[in-house]
Amino acid sequence: MLLLKNGLLVDPSQNICEKMDILIANSKVVELGKDIKASPDIKVIDVNEKIVAPGFIDMHVHLREPGFEHKETILSGCRAAARGGFTGIACMPNTNPVADTEGVIELILARAKRYDLVEVYPIASITKGQEGKELTEFAILHECGAIALSEDGHSVRNSGVMRRALDYAKMLDLLIISHCEDEELAGSGVMHEGLISTQLGLAGIPREVEDIIIDRDIRLAELTKGRIHIAHVSTKSGVELIRAAKKRGVKVTAEVTPHHFSLTDAAVKGYCTNTKVNPPLRTEEDVYALIQGLQDGTIDCIATDHAPHAREEKDVEFDYAPYGISGLETAVPLAWQNLYLAGHLSMLDLVKTFTTTPAKILGIDRGTVQAGKNADITVIDPELTQKVKRETFYSLGKNTPFQDWELTGWPILTIKAGKIVMEKGEVNE
């Protein structure tokens, strides 16, 4: 048994933001109270002046395994998630082989269960081999454990295929997650198209690359009455499209990454390949719009788009480097500092973007600290200030643009199903 004493419980699912003790036994929350007494057989952890929240959920992670274990493995990714304060992660299907069969989904689930660090929710591919042509067997994939469907890394180019996907998924009440990119329009672009790309002599990616597919997929969701989730929104105009669609009653949700609300395309100066991400870092105007989207609920949640790469892959000319940032271990302090401490979101609203909302979007019984529910809990030290050091990452991907940034508000305790999997930055296995 475990007792968390004197913490500030922040639980949006119950609209609670007050000091509470939490008693945990047999993987469940047993009791919430003001002054729960501890018997000799109970382990007590004093979390005075700490934030106690439902376990954080990241609905957009690349674990790379199978096929790209030199970038990340399921084990190293789960370690990184636990250290980052996450008790649940949904992993994207662009592995090798692609997660488009029962075998791959079952492998991911079996290995995650073996390590038992965080809950892993596999996302299956929309089309076979992610080739954009033939739909996968949605029902079979869902039955064996796929929680959603995505072509992440690519858009479904054929609008007819995307329409059929939304129709088929609706029959199963499955979520379609859309990576919005008109690849032909993007061409050879490697960063946001604007003044800085011109100054640096790098080919640009205009906002329309993203916006065209956001608009198309929203329209197809409206047509089919299916559910669509827009991944890693980066543009002001994209936020406006989603806002208008929600007002019309379209079943659309959206996410934003910490790097898109923390950085602008100015970070690319110096040609650091760790700033190369897809969609690209945009402008201050876009960052402001993303934050506004979080404030008014247009953007529902924060997801990392954790995309680890081997050092030698990023240590090349900017044009040739792969896209992606290793984000699991820096997401929480980036959000705490740039959204809560900056005065953009309340504590409850910030926690909601990592807990209650992603749980609701994915349709999982998580994101709450209630008696009888799974004891998935994240504890944050709101005063802990330390520098980002890639050398300490559990992820195999050290590709972070935040190296040596001093951030405040780090996770110090991660509890998954009543088991302490991370304490003071150290993962317990």
Query: Is 305 a residue of the active site?
Result: yes
**Residues forming beta bridges with residue 353, ordered by sequence position:** none
Domains in the chain, start-ordered, CATH in brackets?
Answer: 2-51+373-427 (2.30.40.10), 55-362 (3.20.20.140)
User: Which of 305, 315, 319, 365 does the annotation list as catalytic?
Assistant: 305
User: Rounded to the nearest 10 degrees, what angle do helices 284-296 and 347-354 cross at?
Assistant: 90
User: Rounded to the nearest 10 degrees, what angle do helices 236-248 and 284-296 cross at?
Assistant: 20
Can you read off the two tokens belonging to residue 424? 């003071």
Q: Give dist(CA 364, CA 295) in Å, integer.
A: 24
Q: How many CB atoms lie within 10 A of CB 384?
A: 17
pLDDT in 10s for each residue of the chain, 429 residues? 999 999 999 999 999 999 999 999 999 999 999 989 888 899 999 999 999 999 999 999 999 999 999 999 999 999 999 999 999 999 999 999 999 999 999 999 999 999 999 999 999 999 999 999 999 999 999 999 999 999 999 999 999 999 999 999 999 999 999 999 999 999 999 999 999 999 999 999 999 999 999 999 999 999 999 999 999 999 999 999 999 999 999 999 999 999 999 999 999 999 999 999 999 999 999 999 999 999 999 999 999 999 999 999 999 999 999 999 999 999 999 999 999 999 999 999 999 999 999 999 999 999 999 999 999 999 999 999 999 999 999 999 999 999 999 999 999 999 999 999 999 999 998
Query: Is-contact 79 394, C-beta < 8 A?
Result: yes
pLDDT at site 123 = 98
